[in-house]
Structure 1
Amino acid sequence: MWISVTLQADADKAEALSDALMEAGALSVSIEDADAGTEAETPQFGEPGHLPTSLWAHSKVIALFDGDTGGETLAAMLGEAASAAGFAAVPPFSTETVAEQNWVQLTQSQFDPIRITDRMWIVPSWHEAPDADAINIELDPGMAFGTGSHPTTRLCLEWLCDTVTPGCSVLDYGCGSGILGIAAARLGAGDVLGIDIDEKAVEAARDNAERNRVRLRLQHSAQPTGETFECVVANILTNPLCVLAPAIAARVAPGGQVALSGVLESQAEQVIEAWAPFITLRAGATLEGWVRLEGRRPGP
């Protein structure tokens, strides 16, 4: 058993309160939007080097304590944390008891097979494939981004299903879990290279490729290789897509195609403009506020 305590805090004190609660003896602490689920909910989008400048205006700090913690002891810990964080008194809070659970089973129950197209599914290892005749990619949620559930990943997977031809070459820039490269290989691509700046992502991609019995070339690098590819896909974020436009565009072979995602619909023109000197892009598809941009390098 555990005791979960939810405290109200404004953005300027939420992080300080979180740190103070850990120092006071909390087992874990998280910060969430206090207005989540209402019209006042505020989504935050952070990009490398451009993180949000503040948390939500109205935040809630959720701290988990040992279930044996007595009421007086808990009150003293909250008071100590509030004082250390600069509060005149303990902010409004609520408590609830969290029962012991099979957390692995609970987590797994939240992830079902994901249909990408009629011919492709993403299937967690603990599920049976809904369609044994489809391309079933076995992938579990993990540290690296890309399980098929996010709209940007789905947009890129759909593009690969429509674009990859037998034996073609594919570059997956910002490979994350390796899902796009694995999909390309399963669709018949002959040479697939995945690149990511995160070493953990490269390790995850390698493990996932082995699990799905496909061969990927993988590189831990910040810059694309000097090779060119018939298909290039980059599911990263707007700022790096703009900054890296010359480097990524140069990796598209003459006559080759490129798909970019990780771009909000409101940011599409920014990316299109950054790529204009190299490849003309257009919006190919949208999903839940995200857009996939597509283009083709002129042939020889």
Structure 2
Amino acid sequence: MPWIQLKINTTGAQAEQLGDALIESGAVSVTFQDTHDTPVFEPLPGETRLWGDTDVIGLYDAETEMPDVIAQLEQEPLLGAGFRHKIEQLEDKDWEREWMDNFHPMQFGKRLWICPSWRDIPDPNAVNVMLDPGLAFGTGTHPTTSLCLQWLDGLDLVGKTVIDFGCGSGILAIAALKLGAAQAIGIDIDPQAIQASRDNAQRNGVSERLALYLPKDQPNDLSADVVVANILAGPLRELAPLISTLPKAGGHLGLSGILASQAENVAAAYTDLFELDPTVEKEEWCRITGIKR
């Protein structure tokens, strides 16, 4: 069954009370982790960490409307408006622990392979993206990432500009560049994701063609031939007016992070401006694609 994780940093003294708040907001389970053993929020270069020593992790059904959860939690005196948090789709396994033994090169579409650096490349003549584990979401193991990679592999990206909205590890932007895109732009709300994308781009020799932005820093006139957004259904609906402006006329749009049961509602937010393709499903998740009118 698919799940969503919400991670919040706090102190040990407040963790239990915050855990109760997560349960009241709809979490089916809550766990606590020592921040020093399993860092979730890493300080930026030169930054001193001033927040707590415990990460509280709530597990929610993937159909949960996370914006509603966040709005409810913002009413908690312990948190307040704009509290620091991280929302992500839960990978099928804890690949950060099992990666070395269980992760092998994976093929997506006809040309594209995602390969860990310690494995031999199956096909030196293929398009190979080298990706090692990190804290940012996006390894290719989750069905939503797989659906996006397969879609990118099927496009003619030569000379095109691609925007990866919610770039995470940078896997989609990097794959697009190695598939022939002239330029890629990654956008993410998490500084840690920006750093992970930058590191992975350098590892793959494409960093000079990848621009990375936090939303507050991105140019106002961004546009691209291809836009891919692998986030969650709620944000895809809420941000539809913004995301819809990013593809050029005749440009391609790919959306994922959506359960099959959520596809109709998400598609409805884009149908006025895009000629949408039939929805593609994989393991309860789906991908919506289309061309801008």
Give 1:111's match in structure 2, choosing from 103, 111, 117. Answer: 103
Q: Give aligned pairs, total.
A: 227
What is residue 67 of structure 2 aligned with on the other side? 49
What is residue 218 of structure 1 aligned with on the other side? 212
Unaligned runs of 5+ in 1: 1-10, 23-27, 34-41, 53-103
Tell me the distance in 1 between the aligned counterparts of 2:189 and 2:244. Answer: 18
Tell me the distance in 2 between the aligned counterparts of 1:246 and 1:228. Answer: 14
What is residue 80 of structure 2 aligned with on the other side? none
Deviation at 1:49, TM superposition (A): 2.8
Q: Which has the larger radius of gyration?
A: 1
Give 1:248's match in structure 2, choosing from 231, 238, 243. Answer: 243
- TM-score normalized with structure 2 length: 0.68
Tell me the distance in 2 between the aligned counterparts of 1:224 and 1:121. Answer: 30
After TM superposition, the structure 1 stretch with the greater mean CA deviation from structure 2, 106-115 or 172-181, is 106-115
Unaligned runs of 5+ in 2: 1-22, 35-53, 71-95
Contact 2:99 2:133 in 1 (8 A): no
Give 2:259's match in structure 1, choosing from 259, 264, 268. Answer: 264
- TM-score normalized with structure 1 length: 0.66
Give 1:202's match in structure 2, choosing from 171, 194, 198. Answer: 194
Structure 2 SS opposite 1:283: coil
What is residue 173 of structure 1 aligned with on the other side? 165
Taking the TM superposition and a 5 Å limit, the aligned residue runs for 1:112-127 are 112-127=104-119
Contact 1:224 1:247 in 2 (8 A): no
What is residue 291 of structure 2 aligned with on the other side? 296
Counterpart residue identity of residue 200, structure 1: Q
* Deviation >4 Å, runs of 4+: 28-33, 42-48, 104-107, 222-225
The change in CA–CA distance for 1:31 and 1:191 in structure 2 (over 3 A counts) is closer
Tell me the distance in 2 between the aligned counterparts of 1:29 and 1:247. Answer: 32
Offset from partner CA, 1:233-260 (integer Å, 9 cap, x none):
1101101100111111111101111010
Taking the TM superposition and a 5 Å limit, the aligned residue runs for 1:123-202 are 123-202=115-194
Deviation at 1:120, TM superposition (A): 1.2
Tell me the distance in 1 between the aligned counterparts of 2:69 and 2:58. Answer: 16
CA RMSD in angstroms, aligned pairs only: 3.4
Counterpart residue identity of residue 196, structure 2: A
Tell me the distance in 1 between the aligned counterparts of 2:185 and 2:125. Answer: 26
